[in-house]
Amino acid sequence: MKYNAIIIGGGAAGLSAALYLARAGLAPLIFAGSPPGGQLMLTSEVENFPGRESILGGELIDVMRKQAQKFGGIIVDENVKSVGLVGAGRDLPVQHTIESASGKIYQTKALIIATGAKALWMGLDSETRLRGKGVSACATCDAFFFKNKIVAVIGGGDSALEEALTLTKFASKVYIVHRRAEFKASKIMQKRVFEHEKIEIIWNSAIEEIIGEKKVEGMRIKAVGVGRDRPVQEIKLNGVFVAIGHRPDTDLFKGQIELDQKGYVLTTTMYALEKLKAEGLKLKDMKFDVGYQTMTSVGGVFGAGDCVDHVYKQASTAAGMGVQAALDAERYLEKI
């Protein structure tokens, strides 16, 4: 089966791209995955998606799906097993191949990768059971629900410290539980955290269990590393924010498009930013096409959402990038 455009990913980025490509009359095929919907399906209330005062994550995805379908988007709730991306001249027509989990083969001239990222979790049963009931992986999304409450953040990188600082705007006290005795985060973030009166750091510790049946009521922490013989400690609190990193869902594309060290998809914009950071941008070095900001290292293959962006990671920014990728794909299809 041949398509003008295929999108892999049925979260905020993929469905926004689908809406634009559908409205452009390109009848895109969307592999929404199984189960479909991305990280929004794991959140409860979403109050920071512009245009909606409050909406359940699942409901937001449902509306986005209907909106894409209304204009001719074709959604398949199936995973993709493999892809065959053809590197050709940037404005030459090529057919990329997609094999679905059920073994069907699809071909497309333009492909948008919007496979998202998954928050990493500690792997405790109590963490899984209480997810959405006081356990979260996104302070920007959920801090508001912890006004005058006590919370803990797990992790020692920039995400954890940023989450902790966000939480201080609402919570009465924020613990940071870190498995070592120093943070990995940038010095400026560390300084802000050390100076904040609401934050208490518990070094060399890991959560053994999050306590609570229907909602979070406390945490039991054990000593790890230095001073391992300290006794297990129980602390009463209302929320636990896990910020131990994310992992982009990009294994499918390894060896076929350029990914960064952590596996995030490099688009023209992200490649330029990496270069800028590393050595100062030299345009002559760029094999990415500056004419399409969301194009990857393979012509006709675009990237959008959390599989590209490891900084903003919001449903609304993913949706925006999905729109950019759709507009780039549309322009590309007109040109070839």
Is 138 labeled as catalytic in the residue annotation? Answer: yes
Name the residue nearer to ligand NDP (CB basis): 88 or 122.
Answer: 122
Task: List the catalytic residue out of 62, 125, 138, 249.
Answer: 138
Q: Which of 62, 77, 91, 142 is catalytic?
A: 142
Q: Which residue is nearest to ligand NDP (CB)?
A: 157
Task: Write down the least CB distance from residue 120 to ligand NDP, Å.
Answer: 6
Catalytic residue among 141, 249, 306, 307, which?
141
| Cβ neighbours of residue 132 closer than 8 Å, sequence gap 6 or more | 42, 43, 44
Distance of closest approach, residue 268 Cβ to ligand NDP, in angstroms: 20
Structural tokens at position 310: 């490891």
Contact 69, 93 (CB under 8 A): no
State in angstroms the smallest separation of the CB of 204 from ligand NDP.
10
Nearer Cβ to ligand NDP, position 290 or 311? 311
Q: Which is nearer to ligand NDP, 203 or 332 (CB)?
A: 203
For every residue of 9-73, DSSP letters joined together read --SHHHHHHHHHHHHTT---EEE-TTTTSGGGGG-SEE--STT-SSEEHHHHHHHHHHHHHHTT-
45, 188, 234, 241 from 151: Cα distances, Å? 18, 22, 13, 7
Residues 119 and 123: their CA atoms lie apart, in Å, by: 11
Task: Give contact residues for ligand NDP (rule: CB under 6 A).
Answer: 122, 154-160, 162, 179-180, 184, 206, 244-246, 310-311
Q: Residue 110 or 243: which CB sits closer to ligand NDP?
A: 243
Give me the least distance between CB of 189 and ligand NDP, in Å please: 7
Q: What is the gyration radius of the CA atoms in the chain, in angstroms?
A: 22
First to last CA, the chain: 20
- Could you list the active site residues? 138, 141-142
